[in-house]
Copies of this chain bind each other. A is one copy, B any other.
């Protein structure tokens, strides 16, 4: 099961950190950009090679110290076919390095259309009797606005191809309150979604006791994280919001269970663009080392807060 592999990696590496691969061209070191723009002109092909070089170096620097990476497909998709090609290459490379790869695609549609997304991203597509994998990541993020019709289409690949999904329950952005926090029958909308997710979670439990059906739970609202923890005890949380978005380790540890498991914490900009931090004096060509240092610091920050609460798995 996806979740068993993920938890094993977490335990081996003693790290709950997910490195978000959200490449913003304007923040990628100039020397790396110039190398490819000089060779290939101002083309999307040059951009593909820049995104690949940049992502590969980040993965090379962090694969031994984090259990998973989360490429944000929007940042690749905006560069069209070439961007999608970079996304695929990055995902495959991360997989080769033994990392769990969570495609942050936030897809979701009605029945057969959701099935097409599942086929393309975590499953396979039938071509003349042969099954071909298109993007082939380990897990994806899924939007629940269309209800169970949408979610259930991912279950076949989760159960039979050993993949996973993280359903958006409560997102980390300010306007998430507009719909997600509305009250209905004494519950918040995100609590209703949490109950839906908990029900699907029970259908994909791994040997580790957790489920391959997870939830996205923003860490910018810590009391909600705690509440959602009780509503979805077996559900692994993918928690965005650490660092750049303002959530701190003391908030985030409330998303963990007493066993020190149950959550992985994503950070994107603060890791992959750590070299740009004015107070740290990195050179441009040290961007990989800077990312590794940031990922180690984040790991230690979270672990020390877990230790204080006695929520430690080692």
A-B contact pairs, 23 of them (CB 8 A): A24-B112, A42-B127, A42-B129, A44-B134, A72-B113, A72-B116, A74-B107, A74-B117, A77-B117, A78-B117, A78-B134, A79-B127, A80-B120, A80-B134, A80-B135, A81-B84, A145-B179, A145-B180, A150-B175, A178-B196, A179-B192, A183-B184, A184-B189
A37 at the interface (CB under 8 A from B): yes
- In the complex, chain B residues whose CB is within 8 Å of the CB of A149: 173-176
List chain A positions with a Cβ less than 8 A from chain B: 22, 24-26, 33, 37, 42-44, 46-47, 72, 74-75, 77-81, 83-85, 88, 106-114, 116-117, 119-121, 125-130, 132, 134-135, 143-150, 168, 171-180, 182-185, 189, 192-193, 196
Residues of B within 8 A of A111 (CB): 173
Q: Is the CB of A120 within 8 A of B74?
A: yes
- For the A-B complex with A72-B109, A81-B88, A147-B176 known, give 17 more contacts whose Cβ atoms are closer than 8 Å: A22-B113, A42-B129, A44-B127, A74-B109, A74-B114, A74-B120, A78-B116, A78-B134, A79-B125, A106-B143, A108-B143, A145-B179, A146-B168, A147-B180, A178-B196, A182-B185, A189-B189
State A119–B132 Cα separation when bound (angstroms): 30
> Closest CB-CB distance, A161 to chain B, in whole Å?
14
Given A74-B113, A178-B196, do A145 and B147 touch, yes or no (CB 8 Å)?
Answer: no
Find chain B residues with CB under 8 A from A178 CB.
147-148, 192, 196
Alpha-carbon gap, A179 to B132, bound state (A):
34
